[in-house]
């Protein structure tokens, strides 16, 4: 139950993000993270980009086109497994 709550909070605060992103961020193995996400999946919205599913809080609206400059070690850059 606690891992499901962690997943829900992660995707609410960091989404859109992938399940491997949550596993990387939390330091937990991918298998239990996948199981936890499956338990709360119905409480999240998803979008697919290049065959990868990204989860986020429901009702997240697209932002206007704009650029935000971030420092090199900001969590928005380091909080995801794939930084490409």
Instruction: Sketch out the chain's domains with CATH numbers.
Output: 2-58+66-78 (1.10.10.10)
Question: Which of the residue ranges 19-28, 29-38, 53-62, 73-82 would you say has the lowest mean pLDDT?
Answer: 73-82
| CA–CA separation, 34 and 21 (whole Å) | 11
Question: Which of the residue ranges 3-7, 22-26, 38-42, 80-84 would you say has the lowest mean pLDDT?
Answer: 80-84
Mean pLDDT of 26-54: 96
pTM for this one? 0.77
Kindly provide the b/e burial profile for residues 49-80, where b requires at least 16 CB atoms within 10 angstroms of the residue's own CB.
eeeeebbbbeeeeeeeeeeeeeeeeeeeeebb
């Amino acid at each position: 139950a606690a891992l499901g709550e962690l997943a829900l909070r992660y995707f609410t605060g960091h989404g859109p993000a992938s399940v491997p992103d949550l596993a990387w961020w939390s330091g937990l193995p991918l298998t239990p993270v996948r199981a936890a996400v499956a338990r709360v999946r119905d409480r999240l919205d998803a979008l697919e980009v290049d065959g990868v599913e990204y989860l986020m809080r429901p009702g997240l609206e697209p932002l206007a086109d704009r650029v935000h400059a971030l420092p090199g070690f900001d969590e928005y850059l380091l909080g995801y497994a794939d930084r490409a």
